[in-house]
Homo-oligomer: A and B are copies of this chain.
Amino acid sequence: MPVTMTGGLQIMPIDGIGEVRPGADLSRLLAAAAPDLADGDVVVVTQKVVSKAEAQLVPLDPGDPASKARVVEGESVRVLRRRGELIISETRHGFVCANAGVDLSNVEEGWAALLPEDPDRSARRLRDGLRGRLGVNVAVVISDTFGRAWRRGLTDVAIGCAGIRAVVDLRGTADALGRELAVTEVCVVDELAAAAEMVMGKATGICAAAVRGVDPTWLGRGEVVGEVVRPPVEDLFR
A positions within 8 Å CB-CB of B: 1-2, 4-16, 33-36, 80-81, 83, 88, 95-96, 104-109, 145, 148-157, 166-167, 170, 173-177, 179, 181-182, 184-188, 190-192, 194-195, 197-199, 201-205, 209-210, 214-215, 227-230, 234-238
Q: How many copies does the complex hold?
A: 2
Taking a contact as CB atoms closer than 8 A, the residue among B8, B34, B203 that contacts A170 in the complex is B203
The 10 closest A-B pairs by CB, nearest first: A153-B187, A176-B205, A195-B195, A153-B167, A96-B150, A194-B194, A191-B194, A8-B12, A5-B12, A9-B11
Q: Taking A150-B230, A175-B106 as contacts, is the C-beta distance between A4 and B14 under 8 angstroms?
A: yes
Complex contact B13–A187 (CB within 8 A):
no
Q: How far is the CA of A102 from the CA of B174 in the complex (A)?
A: 19
Measured between beta carbons, the chain B residues less than 8 angstroms from A176 are: 106, 203-205
* Majority SS at the chain A contact face: loop
Measured between beta carbons, the chain B residues less than 8 angstroms from A104 are: 182
Complex contact B237–A36 (CB within 8 A):
no
Complex contact A186–B153 (CB within 8 A):
yes
Taking a contact as CB atoms closer than 8 A, the residue among B4, B11, B16 that contacts A4 in the complex is B16
